[in-house]
Structure 1
Amino acid sequence: MTADFFYDEWGRRRPGDRRDLARAGRLLGLLAPPPLPTLTVVGSKGKGTAATYASALLAAAGCRVVTVTSPGLRHDTDRIRVDGVAVSGRDLAALGRRLSDAARTLPPPGAGYLSPSALFTLAGLSVALDAGPDGAVLEAGMGGASDEVGLVPPTVVAITTVFGGHLDVLGDTPAEIAADKAGVVAELTRAVVSLPQTPDVAAAIDATVAGRTGRRAEVITDTAPEGASALREPAPLAGFPAPAMRSGLHRPNALLGCAAARRLLEATGRPAPDPARAAGVLASVRLPGRLSWHTIPGATVLLDSAVEADGAAAALAEAYRRWDRVDHVLVCLPDHKDLEGVLSALGGLPVTTVRMPDRESLRFTRTRDGLDIADLTPGRLAAFGERIVVLGTVYFTGRVLDLLDADTTRLFAG
């Protein structure tokens, strides 16, 4: 029943139908969750990392925090967490029934639908009716103003790097995409924290935030190419031991999440966490599918959601920090991702491509001869060698996490 409800209208959508933000807003009004200090994460890549670290730092400060991310790591329950712990299947079913009952009072859908991301976001917000959280961290699905997270006025917004993903969907240029993502800000937004952006994207963010907040929201952007700065090592992170934070390409997003969480604490009058406690909680963060290590009989696997050349290069660098060789690389990238760039970054390593023909929205015309995801088993994976790197979209890494039976219930220590 739960799965049927969250995916029902999306599954019945017709060509040309779009997400119905207005109807989702009416459903949110019917649920009437209490207003919460909210940190919303938007951007093109790394949002899940930023949201997880923001939640971890808030928890270290003594806040009870609800986190909504998209998609789930292995299961739909992974989309909604309280203090880093995924809700149970029973709890998600109860949330689904609550939303379903409320949705029955809405007018029937017209040329629009309630998207799964909308319903999981609303389900996460309705946790506030039961769990009594002190704040919420929401990860946008694709956009900002065009995403259902825009229905909830954020206190603080974190913006990861914005690039030309979803052209012709969110906009015709990276600057237009950035304007949509920054459009999540509202009149009551107190601060916007951004990773370094290209000049056109930065200008679009500044103009959008100024226009939507009447220049009341402070935009904090790290533009220093090297060294410590307010974003790169934000208090209370200064002086923390290096193992407390992620390395490589994930580190800027982790620091972004922590810097935004600090701003949320300041905006709500809460003190920063004790540095020793914060260091311990941040060091406990585990992000399956983001440079995560897994062991199966006969092989060790490094799994990462890299979809472009820089991400693939960072994954290889992480592999060589532990190994003296890589036996094989599995790559799953649909047509709209940078397959050529990733293959170039992998050099002459042996590569097998993987397709996901069961995902109708993804096209794999460049890898028709690849291995089908349904044919991938732990034994088949181990047959590629003892040291395997696996790269691909979050939908693919989620399937691999399921294959590896990885624990995705808790992301950090409470």
Structure 2
Amino acid sequence: MKLHTILLVLFFTATASLAFGQSSAELKRQKEAIQREIQLLQRNLNKAAQNKQATRQQINALNAQIRLRQEKIGVINSEIKNLDNEISENTNTVHNLQGQLGELKKDYAAMIRFAQRNRNAYDKMMFVFAAKDFNQAYKRVKYLQQFGQYRKKQADYIQGTQKQLNSKIAELDRTRKQKSTLLQDQEREREKLGKDKSEQSSVLSSYSKQERRYRQDIAQQKKKQAAIDRSLRAAIAREIEKAKREAEERERREAAAAKAANKPAPVVSTKTKSTSEYLKATPEAARLSANFENNRGSLPSPVAVGTITERFGRHMVDRASIDNDGVTFTTGEGAAVRAVFQGQVSNVVNNMGRYFVLIKHGEYFTIYSNLASVSVSRGDKVETKQTIGTVGSSDGAGELQFQIRRVTVPLNPEAWLAR
């Protein structure tokens, strides 16, 4: 029973350690990913700092860096919590192993004393010959053999338990050192966060003093966005009209074919179809639309390395409100832009020297704005992660505006993209 208890303790300890290891590895990957985003933003901010005038991009980058720094501190806190749990588990295991080792040594000592008292070969022979019959004598011989084997096994168990105990003590020591390192890392990140917030306050103050330029910047952004929105609405409307014409043409062909074969004409529903139904009227379009929807939360980022610096919806920049129908990625200068899912290019538009690309995925559309160059044309079929152009840059940083729409309704891309 004691041996069974020891094995159970070791099994559950190993299982718990494996669970902690997997969780810690995932947290480490998250922390490294966040750190890469912070480093990219910092490089862009260093370039932007050479420009004495504060920019909206600089403010967005600082806001994103503060948010990422807070996320990193949160991940570190989770790592510390995991290590606390691991330390607690290992401490309990060490105490259990110490108790079990003591019991094993106590039992083994009793066996040794018994063996010492009965080590004389004459005593063993008398023990066997004192049996009342042959069957009992045979059992006594087997007992003496099994007793010797059991004593050897107990010695092996003691050695194994001692080895496991030493390993757990060493692991406990390593875990405590890891926790100490993480606490230092956490303190450094908090200091950096404080500096980021001070810089944010300074930049916002500088930006507010440049009120006239600030208003011009906001007005220019809204003007660009309004032009893009007009082009988008027109392009999507053309896609809807095209899908409607093709559906009506298919119905006419089916009716003509039925008439020629003297068959009853197909029943045409009198119910008005929705725009979504027109956009996914063909089996291929319906399948593409369903596949796109099934990949919600796992679509790849439109840039290989980048950070969301402006989020979806209405938000304030200093004292002005900005409406963003998508998200804005800050990335490296001249970075490649890639399609997040397979589809067909519906339109490529040059807007004030910068391009935007509209890709159709059944009833869904993805929009990639502020491209310096494009490598696709209208009507091209594209695959997931295929490069479609390069991001436009300013002040040494690339900035991509990315949208997802279901027909004409903007959706929050952060809910669709993989972390």
TM-score range, shorter chain: under 0.3
Q: TM-score, normalised by structure 1?
A: 0.22
Q: Which has the higher contact order (CA 8 A, sep 6+)?
A: 1
Q: TM-score, normalised by structure 2?
A: 0.22
